Each structure stands twice: as C-alpha cells, then as structure tokens.
Structure 1
Amino acid sequence: MSTGHPPPLSATARTSLGRKRDRGRTDRAELHAVLDEGRVCHLGVVVDGAPRVLPTAYGRDGDTLYLHGSSGASSLLAAPTGEICVTVTHLDALVLARSANNHSMNYRSAMIYGVPRRVTDDAEKLHGLRAVVEHITPGRWDVIRAPNRKELASTAVLALSLDEASVKMRGGQVVDEPEDYALDVWAGLVPVHQTYGVPVPDPALRPGLPVPGHILATFPTG
C-alpha cells in the first residue's frame, strides 16, 4: 500500500558523494524543496564540443523539470542530442573559521543529470511553459495572455526527468582544528538571505491598476 511519500533518490556513480558523504541527502522530497525554492537554474550542455553553462528559468511538475528558451538557441538545439547537467544552489551563510582551510559555506544544492526530451506537442508545450511561469510567480498564468501559435513555434521546451539527481547540504557552525580554538580570531556565521523589493509598475500601465494579490502573496514586502 502506497504511503504517498516519494521514493528515495537512486544512487549512481555520478550522484554518490566521494567526500563528505554526511552532506548528501537521499530523500526525494528534499530535492523537490531545493528546486521549488529556486528561481534560476544553471544548464550545462556541450555545444560544438565545448561546455556551456547558461542561467535559465525552469518549472517542476512532479519528477519532470521543464526548461525553455528560443527555438533557435544553439544550446537548446544541442541539448536533446546528449546528456545535460542542471544545478540549483541556495547560499544560506558564509562560514568564517579561524583558519583559511576551514572556511566554508552553508548551502543547499541539487544536481540533475539526463538526456532531455524536446517537447513537440503543443498541449505539453503549454503545460511546460505554464509550469515555468507558475514556478516564478504562482497564479500568474491565469491572468496573462497565453502564447499564440507564432510565439509557441519560436519557443523550445525541454523536459528533463529527475531520475538521476543528487542533493547536497551543509548546515551548522564553524568546525575548526582543536588547537585553533585558542586563537584570538573572530569566527562564526554570516547569514545570507534573498529578499524581494516593492513591485515597481510598468510606466505604460493604465492608471488605477493595483498590484495583484498573487504577486503580493508570493513576494511579501511587509
């Protein structure tokens, strides 16, 4: 009988940590949490024999990650022909130790490997684009104009399975060498937080249109 909890991440040679294995996570829910909190991923792809890493927006639907871009972009044209790597990282704190060697960072990161599928069905394309828009600002898709046929044709959408993924995290305090605790050097954490500012209206906006509730709910400023 299913408990509704997602299956754990499958360990592969590429997703198994060789060092600091205590930082690895196998709970698929933690992978989802890292992806859901992010806004930008980095897409690594090989183009004409050379590596290329691009920041891009994304959206998740279950265990599928949707990526989008111009249908003429060489990176997206090359992606479905081989494996890609997608990463998302959250920096939570700078860890300042008493020695240079023990400086670190508190972070949460996810890495996904796989061969993406080029989405050609218009219905799934719209589904993937909706996932991207809703990931950036929940509630946005239902109030904006959907892509027309020309826009849909000029947009490439990739679907990437989350089957092969790893999650790595570091939390906690400074870890110094025993003899270094006697040094008169300040050590500790510098927390890092991402914040959003007050929404700025487009100068061409018709007068009297308030900031919609779905934006205020996603990006509270108070």
Structure 2
Amino acid sequence: MTEPTTAPPLSSTSRTSLGRKKDRAATDRADLHDVLDGALICHLGLVLDGHPQVLPTGYGRDGEVLYLHGSTGARSVLAAGAEPEVCVTVTLLDAVVYSRTLNDHSMNYRSAVIYGRPRAVLDPAEKLHGLRVLSEHLAPGSWDHAREPDAKELAAVAVLALPLAEASVKIRSGPPTDDPAEHATGAWAGVLPFRTEWGTPIPAPDLAPGIPTPPHIADRRTPHD
C-alpha cells in the first residue's frame, strides 16, 4: 500500500465520534490502515430508490483512497458512482470474551467505519490501477501471474474511489472486566481467541497436469489476522 509521508489524524465529526465506550476510539490513522489491510471484505451501505442496502464486496486500499468495484450492470454500484453518500464498514473479530455474567460477555475486535462520496473512476489508467489494488489486496501476486483484463472486461466493471477523509476506528482488547463482586460466582471467565486460516489450495478440475501451485498462493497458508 502507498503510504503518505505524513498522515493526518482520524477525523472527528458528529458521525465519527463515538457515543459510547469512547475509550475504545482510535485516533491514529495507522489503526484505520491496519483494519483495512487486515480484512478482505467490507460492507457498503447506501440508499437506493429510497431503500437502505448493505452489500458485501471486495476492496483495496492505496494510501488514503479505498477502491471498490462491481459490475456496470449492478444498479447499486451505478448509484454509488453517482456520488451519493455511502458508509463502508470493516470488522476484524479477534476473540469472544467470556464474563461471569452474561450481560458482560463481549468481543475483542477492530472495526472501521468510513463515510463519504465515492467517485466513479473513468480514467482508463486509474481504473486499471484501482483493479490492481483490489486484486493485490485479495489475491497478492495474481496481477503479475494471471492475464490482465482486456478492453471488454474493463468496460464491464465499474470502479469507485472513496477517500478515507471521514472515518472512525473502534477497538476492544484484553480480558473481561467483571465487577469484583462477581468473582465468587464460580463461573469461568476469560478470552477465546478467534483466528481464520488459509486451507490447502485446491487445483481447478480442468488444470493441466504438471502446473504447480505458485508461491504467491502456497505461501499464504499462514494465519490471517
């Protein structure tokens, strides 16, 4: 990811200021980058024809820009490209927190919420760049390994650029915070870590014999934080 020489702190607006648990708010823009770089799927929220929609989609970050994409035939993507306001959320679950009381059960997580008006990327060079950012975030190494999109494929895909100007990050970590009066209940309290791992690559049924799994795929078999 391209990092700016100096990054401003996270914005503080009425929409990005936490109403509860203010101590969990992160103000360092690097925390926003870490959340976005650590996940693979975001949820894009917008209003279409007067109705709210929340759509899961892939994305990629380049510096202070989030690239999103979809089919040019998808009305939701076309609506977002008309620059209405959207909300993008990303969440990484790190653990389930077990407390001595059910009311105090919680989760350790890192989450980001981004507000803004996405710009439809029309310049061919930037469009190709945005798709490369997306591809390299989801499947690192693939851009130089597989065939690049041709003109017909580029015409069928819409790319949106969303600035990371207005965003908030919320983080919870650590053990449960039970009231000392609950310690004598005898119930177990602690943290159950959660981790997602890559499995063994499965070749396509029609893959020609003798084509090995390339390193950029085989080497991803490590825990994904």
The two structures have a TM-score, normalised by structure 2, of 0.94
Q: Is the partner of 1:69 in helix, strand or coil?
A: strand
Residue 197 (structure 1) aligns with: 199
Deviation per CA, 1:138-166: give whole Å up to 9, x if none: 21101111111111111011000000011
Q: What are the within-5 Å matches in structure 2 for residues 67-146 of structure 1?
A: 67-81=68-82, 82-146=84-148
Question: Letter of the aligned partner of 2:60 in structure 1?
Answer: G
Aligned to 1:9: 10
Contact 1:137–1:218 (8 Å) recurs in 2 = no
CA distance in 2, matches of 1:137, 1:154: 20
The equivalent residue for 2:54 is: 53
1:175-194 alignment, distance < 5 Å: 175-194=177-196
CA distance in 2, matches of 1:4, 1:67: 24
Cα distance in 2 for residues equivalent to 1:60 and 1:7? 16
Indicate the percent of aligned positions where both proteins have the same amino acid. Answer: 59
Choose the corresponding residue for 1:155, options 154, 157, 160: 157
Gaps of 5+ in 2: none
**Deviation of 1:65 (Å):** 0.3
The residue type paired with residue 63 of structure 2 is G
In 2, Cα distance between equivalents of 1:195 and 1:113: 30
Moved over 6 A (4+): none
Provide the rounded CA distance (Å) in 2 between the counterparts of 1:134 and 1:26: 27
Distance apart, 1:178 and its partner CA: 2.4
Counterpart selection for 2:216 from 214, 217, 222: 214
Q: Deviations over 1:3-45 (max 9, x none)?
A: 9342211211111112111100011111111100111111111
Deviation at 1:77, TM superposition (A): 1.2
Secondary structure at the counterpart of residue 180 of structure 1: helix
Q: How many residues align?
A: 219
Provide the alpha-carbon RMSD of the alignment. 1.3
Q: Residue type of the partner of 1:184?
A: G
Q: Deviations over 1:159-208 (max 9, x none)?
A: 00000011100000011122111101111111100111010000111110
Instruction: Say which SS state the counterpart of residue 199 (structure 1) adopts.
Output: coil
